[in-house]
Amino acid sequence: MNQLLQTIATAFRAAGGKLGVVESCTGGGLGQAITSLPGASDFFEGGLITYSNTVKMKSVYVRESTLNEHGAVSEECVKEMANGGMVALGVDCCLSISGIAGPGGGTPDKPVGTVWYGLAVRHRSIEAFHHVFAGDREEVRRQAVQTGLEILSRVSLKKAV
């Protein structure tokens, strides 16, 4: 994890970029991982934990229609979370995470372990990534944070800031 954090820090510092996160199923784990790095305040502005749909709508501008049509664990929702988080936090890049950590809540379409990521980078399109992790609640959350860091380590901020 330390190498991923160093890669993220180097990229954001070199570009003068600011990072934010919006989390649901990880409950702040991604922000905690990032802030474990000394000097993270050079590039990390902060994060929002938007666990409920109400908070997703109020804090990061997820549309009620998106939640009704696609659910909170969906490509559409995490894209809106990432874009809304970029605006709400005033950052150049925002990663969002929403998933089903379990043990309950899974469905045949979205089993326990399903996690969606949204990545918004200023002046670019918004991307989404999907993973299904195995394990219990804590293992799913741990893997979700790890994958979030891997996604962030590949972010290119060229022309973003």
Inter-CA distances, 87 with 93, 122, 140, 153, Å: 10, 10, 28, 21
80-131 residue pLDDT tens: 999 999 999 999 999 999 999 999 999 999 999 999 999 999 988 899 999 9
Q: Where are the domains of the chain?
A: 2-153
Q: What is the CATH code of the structural domain delimited by 2-153? A: 3.90.950.20
**Six-digit token pair at 150?**
């891997």
- pTM for the model stands at 0.95
Q: Which amino acid is at 73?
A: V
23-70 residue pLDDT tens: 999 999 999 999 999 999 999 999 999 999 999 999 999 999 999 999
100's CB contacts (< 8 A; 6+ apart) are: 25, 73, 106, 110, 111, 112, 113, 114, 115, 140
